[in-house]
Structure 1
Amino acid sequence: MFSLRFSKMGSAVGSSSRLAPVSARPASPTFFGRCQNHLSHLPLPPRKVRNQVRKSDLISGGRTAPAVKSDPHIRQSIDSEVSFTDDNDDVGNESFGSQNVQWAHGKDGEDRVHIVIFEEPGCVFELGGIQRKIERHNRITQKDISNKILLNAIKAFSPLKIRLGGTLQDKVIYQFRNDHGACTQFIKDSTEMFGFTRGCLPMSRWDDLNEFFKIAGAKVIFGLNALNGRTIGSDGSTTGAWNSSNAESLIRYTVNKGYNIYGWELGNELSGNGIGASIAADQYASDVIILQKIVQDVYRGFETKPLVLGPGGFFDANWFTTFIKGASNSLQVVTHHIYNLGPGVDEHLVDKILDPSYLEGGSQPFKDLQSSLRSSGTSTTAWVGEAGGAYNSGHNLVTNAFVFSFWYLDQLGMTATYDSKTYCRQSLIGGNYGLLNTTTYLPNPDYYSALLWHRLMGRQVLSTHFVGTNKIRAYAHCSKNSRGITLLFINLDNSTAVEVGLSIKNAILVEKSTSQKTVFGRVPGEKKATYQVMREEYHLTPEDGDLHSQIMLLNGKALTVNSSGIIPSLEPRRVNLSEPLTVSPFSIVFAQIPSIHVPACI
């Protein structure tokens, strides 16, 4: 167990704890430290939002849940990956050859990566705005494919998962050569569900997309139309079973063309009360079973088959429990969406992000879904299929600025703590929460936060407990590609710096000691000694101390892409392990300690 202790002038200032129940007991490191006031750091007032609310209050993830107490154990997280997606509200209406192609979680007129009519609550990244040009041509142009910044940004996460899907995926038909009639694009129509008529995806466009994904080295999760064949009532409820014939044709075409698909996901936000429409849990489970049979049949003889995922909706405990039990033998991944900060227009958005109690409340859906999976006895794993934080495209200079990394990294920490394997961030490009700028593809702060998480935080999660200020959010993992450990500290305080020390039980320092004093890195049971070992620190701060800045500083240096489109190297600051670690006000710190080996990480 990791214990964090913070004191201010020698006295305790409060306490907070975080959960991570598991089976094996880890090493037991203890953090302790002192706080320093920096009165020059004043809280920044939230900027006014310009977007209008479009997503319904049915999003259960937007409610604050009670904080969860921690349990001193270790957890396994199979994938410490990140994802990016688009908000699933209304969709933009841009021409994609013979159709309107969008990532279905888009907004009217938004420059988003609606790559193929669907939204991507993907895994690791969601394409948000990369498609603006792609949508306006009959094929993906060489200019798009060869954009150095875009390709380098994607390849930095290699292998990268991208989810294609969203609101309009449940209104798209896949056209094949022997189909009769024109392949019509989406047309705006306020009388239609989601505000659009049906749209068509020609296989020529599917070919272009797969060409792009192959070059980018992406793992694709594709969202299938789950409403095909159903009758939708005036209240949004559906009757009838899923007509799988069109989806099966797409899957067979994909296999015949040799395209690699990582997973097929059925439907988007149709669980529980649904957004626009809803499907009963038992019926949805039956439909997933049909999809699994199709995948098993079409991929017969393949050593590795695509995953079957669903339902890609907002968590509803009763609905998800019924669904998981009904589909567990056919469902490899259960996906849910998170917009727990509410609408992007909320003038209190920044206040929520900086409120540790509000952040902690976001753990409840993770906990409840974990409980549902455990009680079902299934091998199905959980993914966050889409998360943009604030729906209706977020908020400019908040969800695409430094301040959002507080929420984002805390979400990644909680996701791993509760055993979710993949987190799909909305979006890679698009809306006001893209990791890349919609027009220039230049990285926003969250891109670098995600990249550091991807490179440093390993699959095994060490539970964290701290006593002291609740303004510090802390997580610890076994290091990625290393036997050491990596710590993450998020300081939500605007005026107080914290010096952190570390004491670890049942750990091994690989270097020899050279003296008789230690401040950091004590191994209980041995004589006190100062170890000539180093740790690597990554201090993230906003430019000019402005939380709304879109420029992130790493160890005081601005992170910028060079003229060749190369993503900057993320170089750490090397510090002797005996020195205390200082977490400045309104800052984020990753600290990697390669020389500390704990049993859980060996």
Structure 2
Amino acid sequence: MKGYQKALTLASTALMMTSLQGCAGMPHSRGSDVAQVEAGNLPLVREIDERFQSFQVGFSHLTGGETWKSYDELPAGAAEKDGFAAIREKRLPTDLANPRLRTLTKALAPLYVRYGGTTANSVYFHDSDAPPPAKPPKGFTVLLTRDAWKGAIDFAKAVDAKILTSFTNSDGVRDASHAWTPKMAAPWLAYTRSVGGEIYAAELFNEPNAPEPPRIPKGHSPEEFARDFATFRAFMAKAAPDVKIVGPGTAKLGVSGVASLESVTSEMYASATPKPKFDIISYHFYPALAERCAPATSPFGIGSDKALTEEWLARPSKELQQQKALRDRFAPGAPIWLTETGGAACGGLRWQPTFLDTFRYVDTMSRTAKEGLDAMFTHALVSGSNGFIDEKTFEPNASYWAGLLWRRLMGTRVLDAGPEQPGLHLYAHCQRGTPGGVTILALNLGESSKTLQVGSPADVYALTSPELQSNTVLLNGKALALTANDELPAIAPARLEGRQATLAPTSVNFITLPKAGNPNCR
């Protein structure tokens, strides 16, 4: 995205520090480049889960299997020419004991980790310490060993994560009438208990409306879902009564025209007979298809030139409103979890690891937290082009740093900072760990600086980058990177002694006001 002004490289030039008097009232605009907010008066909207910011670790990281081919190795038009197999490649299991990976993940805790994804639908759990067979039995596609699952449990414990998982649903666990049985789920749960593990929540399986051969060749109709879900719920009530039951977990896109995802809706699954009972309503949402599956210029794709547009950033809202209506009808009062999301389906955007995608990431979290979501699971914690952390180097990708600041600064109480303004999105939460304090998240999406007036002295954490499609992230002008010992760098703010801050062009700004005195934050 050439043409954007270079990010400011020194904190003294990134922020203007002047004094204002009498800043009062609700958030409002004072011109296209000036906004004002009185943090002490912001009303409370709602409270979110402490583990709102959560992540998926795909089952292929535990078992090995298929993953999305990197863009560097992907010939143009591969999917159109050679089909689905042309955009996939083999993956080895991931070392979840890696110290760098654990350090980076622990810094985001507490969180939920979802062990799921398409691979989870056809897992064969090898419930033995003997060597596993050379290949999975008929009806399964991958092998999960005891050691691999224990590694997943140990990882969750080490990083203060509660586990959400789905269970095998392929032909290998179905009886003569093709009904689901707990053939894999039963020994899986028993082994989990035997090693001191705990599953907090469970889904029947991954995306019943999104068929992918050979795991669910024809998808899963609402009638089949309801029948199997009743069996699943009865089994879990006896085998693991404390586990939350999550569903229906359907896949949705932010663009229309993909018939396989639109012909069967979440409502059809929730209203089928016998009526499923959900403790938590879940869904998957991707705002577009990645270039592996659709050209960026197609109606289903998205180009980097649209990454900061209002239309693109608003796409998650429409689906969340539909899920809220579904929840209110079929599971009143239940939490709503977005259990899989990212920049685009089909393995992520080409530019997802760069600073450019940070705006979508924090804007999606902020707007959905305000609008009614209780937890958001990003796909993926560690992966290739769609990973929060790079799976080859275990280095943080650009969005990681905004996620770290979110965890440290944004509390569970969401405040109303007013509606989004074109080019300037303002969100606010009670400041984490500071009674009465407020954190404002200000996203300057434009190419020119903007001024934000606040009601009390503040600390500013301004994230910028020398190039939007770069992995380099600057905090108040200084590049963020792990130390030589793989420790996180010092995360220090710039002190705003006055009450006016200049937001650099295309910047993500966390502004904490510890003396705001907001009564909703005490």
How does the TM-score come out when normalised to structure 1? 0.67
> What residue number does 2:27 align with?
30
Letter of the aligned partner of 1:485 in structure 2? V
Q: CA deviation at 1:423?
A: 0.8
The one of 522, 533, 539 equivalent to 2:462 is 539
Secondary structure of the residue aligned to 2:510 is: strand
Q: Is the 8 A contact 1:271 1:279 kept in 2?
A: yes
Aligned CA RMSD, in angstroms, stands at 3.5
- Does residue 157 (structure 1) correspond to residue 78 (structure 2)? The answer is no
- Does residue 107 (structure 1) correspond to residue 78 (structure 2)? The answer is no
Q: CA deviation at 1:404?
A: 0.3
CA pair 151-444 structure 1, distance change in 2 beyond 3 A: same
CA pair 598-288 structure 1, distance change in 2 beyond 3 A: farther
The one of 270, 281, 291 equivalent to 2:222 is 281
Q: Is the 8 A contact 1:33 1:500 kept in 2?
A: no
> What residue number does 2:237 align with?
296
Q: For residues 410-455 of structure 1, give each alpha carbon's deviation from its aligned partner in whole angstroms, at most 9, with x where no partner exists.
A: 1101221222111111112112121122222121111111111122
Q: Is the 8 A contact 2:459 2:494 kept in 1?
A: yes
> What residue number does 1:484 align with?
437
Q: Is the 8 A contact 1:110 1:430 kept in 2?
A: no
Letter of the aligned partner of 1:334 in structure 2? I
Letter of the aligned partner of 1:558 in structure 2? A
Letter of the aligned partner of 1:474 in structure 2? L
The one of 283, 291, 297 equivalent to 1:344 is 291
Q: Is the 8 A contact 1:540 1:552 kept in 2?
A: yes
The one of 375, 385, 402 equivalent to 1:432 is 385
CA pair 597-186 structure 1, distance change in 2 beyond 3 A: farther
Q: Aligned partners of 2:483 and 2:91: how far apart in 1? A: 23
Q: Is the 8 A contact 1:154 1:160 kept in 2?
A: no
CA pair 293-481 structure 1, distance change in 2 beyond 3 A: farther
The one of 50, 75, 78 equivalent to 2:46 is 75
Q: For residues 273-313 of structure 1, give each alpha carbon's deviation from its aligned partner in whole angstroms, at most 9, with x where no partner exists.
A: 7885422234324433433333332236xxxx222222333
> What residue number does 1:203 align with?
146
Letter of the aligned partner of 2:320 in structure 1? F
Secondary structure of the residue aligned to 1:452 is: helix
> What residue number does 2:255 align with?
none
Letter of the aligned partner of 2:188 in structure 1? L
Letter of the aligned partner of 1:426 in structure 2? H
Q: Aligned partners of 1:410 and 1:593: how far apart in 2? A: 20
Between structures 1 and 2, the one with greater helix share? 2
Letter of the aligned partner of 1:76 in structure 2? E
Unmatched tracts of structure 2, length 5 or more:
1-23, 35-42, 73-89, 253-260
Secondary structure of the residue aligned to 1:29 is: coil
Q: Aligned partners of 2:461 and 2:203: how far apart in 1? A: 36
Q: For residues 304-353 of structure 1, give each alpha carbon's deviation from its aligned partner in whole angstroms, at most 9, with x where no partner exists.
A: x2222223331479732243356887422222212213223525421231
CA pair 161-444 structure 1, distance change in 2 beyond 3 A: same
Q: Is the 8 A contact 1:268 1:312 kept in 2?
A: yes
Q: CA deviation at 1:178?
A: 10
The one of 254, 269, 272 equivalent to 1:323 is 269
Q: Aligned partners of 2:268 and 2:496: how far apart in 1? A: 51
> What residue number does 1:213 align with?
156
Q: For residues 10-60 of structure 1, give each alpha carbon's deviation from its aligned partner in whole angstroms, at most 9, with x where no partner exists.
A: xxxxxxxxxxxxxxxxx96224345569xxxxxxxxxxxxxxxxxxxxxxx
Secondary structure of the residue aligned to 1:294 is: helix
The one of 547, 559, 565 equivalent to 2:486 is 565
> What residue number does 1:373 align with?
327
Q: CA deviation at 1:240?
A: 4.1
CA pair 464-246 structure 1, distance change in 2 beyond 3 A: same
Q: CA deviation at 1:134?
A: 4.5
CA pair 79-159 structure 1, distance change in 2 beyond 3 A: closer
The one of 364, 375, 396 equivalent to 1:443 is 396
Q: CA deviation at 1:173?
A: 1.8
Alignment of 1:391-402 (within 5 A): 391-396=345-350, 398-402=351-355
CA pair 205-273 structure 1, distance change in 2 beyond 3 A: closer
Q: Is the 8 A contact 2:173 2:184 kept in 1?
A: no
Q: Aligned partners of 1:601 and 1:287: how far apart in 2? A: 44
> What residue number does 1:255 align with?
193
Q: CA deviation at 1:110?
A: 9.8
> What residue number does 2:318 align with?
364
Q: Aligned partners of 1:486 and 1:564: how far apart in 2? A: 31
Letter of the aligned partner of 1:252 in structure 2? A
Q: Aligned partners of 2:192 and 2:490: how far apart in 1? A: 37
Q: For residues 168-221 of structure 1, give each alpha carbon's deviation from its aligned partner in whole angstroms, at most 9, with x where no partner exists.
A: 211112222499x9634469xxxx9xxx96222222332333234333433222
CA pair 183-421 structure 1, distance change in 2 beyond 3 A: farther
- Which deviates the most, 362-371 or 244-253? 244-253
Q: For residues 469-526 of structure 1, give each alpha carbon's deviation from its aligned partner in whole angstroms, at most 9, with x where no partner exists.
A: 51112212222223322111111112x211122xxxxxxxxxxxxxxxxxx42xxxxx
Q: Aligned partners of 2:282 and 2:428: how far apart in 1? A: 25
Secondary structure of the residue aligned to 1:249 is: helix
Q: CA deviation at 1:109?
A: 8.0
Letter of the aligned partner of 1:283 in structure 2? E
CA pair 376-197 structure 1, distance change in 2 beyond 3 A: closer
> What residue number does 1:333 align with?
280
Unmatched tracts of structure 1, length 5 or more:
1-26, 38-71, 112-130, 233-238, 502-519, 522-532
Q: Is the 8 A contact 1:458 1:481 kept in 2?
A: yes
The one of 233, 239, 243 equivalent to 1:306 is 243
Secondary structure of the residue aligned to 2:170 is: coil
Letter of the aligned partner of 2:46 in structure 1? R
Q: Aligned partners of 1:559 and 1:296: how far apart in 2? A: 47
The one of 477, 491, 498 equivalent to 1:556 is 477
Q: Is the 8 A contact 1:338 1:389 kept in 2?
A: no
Q: Aligned partners of 1:101 and 1:335: how far apart in 2? A: 26
Alignment of 1:1-12 (within 5 A): none
Q: Is the 8 A contact 2:316 2:368 kept in 1?
A: no
Q: Aligned partners of 2:318 and 2:199: how far apart in 1? A: 32
CA pair 204-361 structure 1, distance change in 2 beyond 3 A: closer
Q: Aligned partners of 2:132 and 2:395: how far apart in 1? A: 38
Paired-residue identity, %: 24
Letter of the aligned partner of 1:540 in structure 2? L
Q: For residues 134-192 of structure 1, give each alpha carbon's deviation from its aligned partner in whole angstroms, at most 9, with x where no partner exists.
A: 55xxxx6xxx62x432221011122232111111211112222499x9634469xxxx9
Q: Is the 8 A contact 1:437 1:444 kept in 2?
A: yes
- Does residue 388 (structure 1) correspond to residue 335 (structure 2)? The answer is no
- Does residue 585 (structure 1) correspond to residue 505 (structure 2)? The answer is yes
Letter of the aligned partner of 1:536 in structure 2? D
Letter of the aligned partner of 2:250 in structure 1? G
CA pair 394-299 structure 1, distance change in 2 beyond 3 A: closer
CA pair 392-488 structure 1, distance change in 2 beyond 3 A: same
- Does residue 183 (structure 1) correspond to residue 183 (structure 2)? The answer is no
Secondary structure of the residue aligned to 1:448 is: helix
CA pair 286-534 structure 1, distance change in 2 beyond 3 A: farther
Q: Aligned partners of 1:470 and 1:155: how far apart in 2? A: 35
> What residue number does 1:472 align with?
424
